[in-house]
C-alpha cells in the first residue's frame, strides 16, 4: 500500500515541507551527507529515532545542549550502532510502538569498526533501517582511509594513493538476504526519498547505501557537490539499484548510464584526491567500473 504513495511522489515539490534537520548545522559547506539526512528524515517522519555512531553527523547535530534535529537522536559508540538499534527496536516492539529505528552511520562506522554489529543485527532479522552514508574515508577525523576508500584515492593515511580496492559492502549485506536493500546518491534526492519510504514500509532489516561526495575530503569546490554525485552515477562508478526480497532492479538514473557510461575521467579529473593517478591505476579503475556494470546488468536480465 505504501508503494502507491511512493509512486505518487514524482517530483521534489511532492516531498513534505516539514523539516527535521534544521538550518545552520555544523556541517561543512557543500556537505552532501547532511543534505541526504534531510530527505531521509522527511521520508521517515516524526515517529522516528536516529541512532548515530561516531561520524560526521555526530558533529553536524551540534553541541550540547543544542540539537539540529527534530527527532530523538541517540549517539552511541563507534562499533555499536546496529546493536544499540537492535535493543531499541526490541524495546519499542515490547512496548507496542511502531517507531522507526534508523541507524545513520558513516562508511568507517559501517564497513570497518561497525561491520560485526551490522552483520549480527541483519542475521537476527532486527526490524530497523541501516543507512550508510559513504564519503569514502574517515571524514570526521580529517580524511583517513577507510575500507570504503576507492583504489588510487589519496587520504591522509594513503598519501601515495590507496593501493587496494573499495570493500564491496553491498555484496556483504546482500549475503544476509535482507528483505530490502538499495543504493542511493546525494545527487538524486527524490530517488533516495522513495527508497527510504519503501524501506520503512517493510518489516525486518533494511539497508540503504548512499554515496555522499565530500568537498574537503575529495578536494573539489563546494558548489560541485551535486555535480560530483551525478558524475559518479553517469560514469557507472556508482550504480543506483534496489533489491527487494533478493530481486534486483536498476534505478532510473543508472539505466541509461549503464548502457552508455560517461568517460571515467569526467568523474576523476575534478577531484584532488585522484591527482596524479597513474595510467595503470586508472586503467584498473575503468575495468572495475565495467565489470560492475556488466555483473549487475547480467543479473537484472536474469543471466547469472
| Helix axes of 225-234 and 32-44: crossing angle, nearest 10 degrees | 80
Q: How far apart are the first and last CA of the chain?
A: 31
**Secondary structure element (H or E) that encloses residue 65, with its range:** none
Kindly state the smallest distance separating residue 140's Cβ from another protein, in Å: 11
Query: What is the rounded distance in angstroms from the CA atom of residue 247 to the CA atom of residue 281?
Result: 33
Kindly state the smallest distance separating residue 41's Cβ from another protein, in Å: 11
Q: Is there binding between residue 85 and another protein (CB under 8 A)? A: yes
DSSP 89-107: HHHHHHTT---EEEEEEES
DSSP 1-36: -HHHHHHH--SGGGS----SB-SS-SPPTT-HHHHH
Q: Is there binding between residue 90 and another protein (CB under 8 A)? A: yes
Q: Which of residues 269-298 bind another protein (CB under 8 A)?
A: none
300 burial type by CB count under 10 A (0-12 exposed, 13-18 middle, 19+ buried): middle
Cell numbers found for residue 213: 561526495
Kindly state the smallest distance separating residue 82's Cβ from another protein, in Å: 8
**28-36, 94-102, 180-188, 270-278 -> range binding another protein (CB under 8 A):** 94-102
**32-40, 72-80, 178-186, 198-206 -> range binding another protein (CB under 8 A):** 72-80
Cell numbers found for residue 283: 586503467
Q: Is there binding between residue 41 and another protein (CB under 8 A)? A: no
**81-89, 171-179, 209-217, 275-283 -> range binding another protein (CB under 8 A):** 81-89
Q: Is there binding between residue 70 and another protein (CB under 8 A)? A: yes
Q: Is there binding between residue 48 and another protein (CB under 8 A)? A: yes
Contacts of 297 (CB under 8 A, 6+ apart): 250, 258
Residue 108 or 152: which CB sits closer to another protein?
108
Q: Is there binding between residue 93 and another protein (CB under 8 A)? A: yes
Binding-site member from 31, 36, 40, 71 for another protein (CB under 8 A): 71
**Contact pattern for another protein over residues 241 through 270, marking x by CB under 8 A:** ------------------------------
Query: What is the rounded distance in angstroms from the CA atom of residue 158 to the CA atom of residue 155?
Result: 5
> In which residue are the cell numbers 588510487 written?
152
Residue 67 or 177: which CB sits closer to another protein?
67
Binding-site member from 6, 15, 73, 284 for another protein (CB under 8 A): 73
Q: Is there binding between residue 201 and another protein (CB under 8 A)? A: no
- Within 10 angstroms of residue 116's Cβ, the number of other Cβ atoms is 11
Query: What is the rounded distance in angstroms from the CA atom of residue 218 to the CA atom of residue 135?
Result: 8
Cell numbers found for residue 172: 556483504
Residue 44 or 277: which CB sits closer to another protein?
44
**67-75, 231-239, 249-257, 263-271 -> range binding another protein (CB under 8 A):** 67-75
Binding-site member from 28, 35, 43, 76 for another protein (CB under 8 A): 76
Query: What is the rounded distance in angstroms from the CA atom of residue 50 to the CA atom of residue 129?
Result: 10
**Contact pattern for another protein over residues 103 through 142, marking x by CB under 8 A:** -------------xx-xx--xx------------------
List residues binding another protein (CB under 8 A): 46-49, 51, 58-59, 61-67, 69-77, 79-95, 99, 116-117, 119-120, 123-124
Amino acid at each position: 500500500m505504501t508503494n502507491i504513495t511512493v509512486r505518487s511522489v514524482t517530483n521534489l515539490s511532492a516531498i513534505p515541507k516539514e523539516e527535521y534537520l534544521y538550518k545552520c548545522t555544523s556541517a561543512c559547506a557543500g556537505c552532501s551527507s547532511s543534505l541526504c539526512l534531510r530527505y531521509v528524515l522527511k521520508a521517515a517522519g516524526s515517529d522516528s529515532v536516529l541512532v548515530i555512531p561516531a561520524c560526521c553527523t555526530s558533529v553536524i547535530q551540534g553541541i550540547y545542549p543544542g540539537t539540529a534535529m527534530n527527532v530523538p537522536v541517540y549517539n552511541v559508540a563507534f562499533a555499536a550502532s546496529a546493536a544499540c538499534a537492535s535493543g531499541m527496536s526490541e524495546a519499542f516492539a515490547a512496548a507496542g510502538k511502531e517507531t522507526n529505528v534508523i541507524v545513520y552511520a558513516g562508511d568507517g562506522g559501517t564497513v570497518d569498526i561497525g561491520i560485526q554489529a551490522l552483520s549480527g543485527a541483519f542475521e537476527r532479522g532486527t526490524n530497523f533501517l541501516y543507512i550508510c552514508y559513504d564519503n569514502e574515508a574517515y571524514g570526521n577525523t580529517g580524511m583517513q582511509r577507510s575500507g570504503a576508500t576507492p583504489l588510487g584515492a589519496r587520504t591522509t593515511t594513503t598519501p601515495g594513493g590507496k593501493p587496494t580496492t573499495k570493500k564491496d559492502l553491498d555484496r556483504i549485506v546482500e549475503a544476509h538476504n535482507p528483505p530490502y536493500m538499495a543504493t542511493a546518491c546525494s545527487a538524486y534526492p527524490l530517488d533516495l526519498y522513495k527508497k527510504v519510504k519503501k524501506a520503512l514500509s517493510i518489516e525486518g532489516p533494511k539497508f540503504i547505501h548512499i554515496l555522499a561526495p565530500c568537498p574537503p575530503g575529495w578536494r573539489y569546490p563546494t558548489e560541485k557537490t551535486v555535480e560530483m554525485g551525478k558524475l559518479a552515477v553517469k560514469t557507472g562508478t556508482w550504480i543506483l539499484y534496489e533489491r527487494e526480497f533478493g530481486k534486483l532492479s536498476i534505478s532510473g538514473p543508472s539505466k541509461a548510464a549503464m548502457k552508455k557510461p560517461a568517460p571515467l575521467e569526467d568523474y576523476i579529473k575534478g577531484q584532488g584526491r585522484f591527482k596524479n593517478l597513474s595510467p595503470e591505476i586508472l586503467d584498473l579503475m575503468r575495468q572495475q567500473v565495467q565489470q560492475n556494470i556488466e555483473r549487475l546488468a547480467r543479473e537484472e536480465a536474469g543471466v547469472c
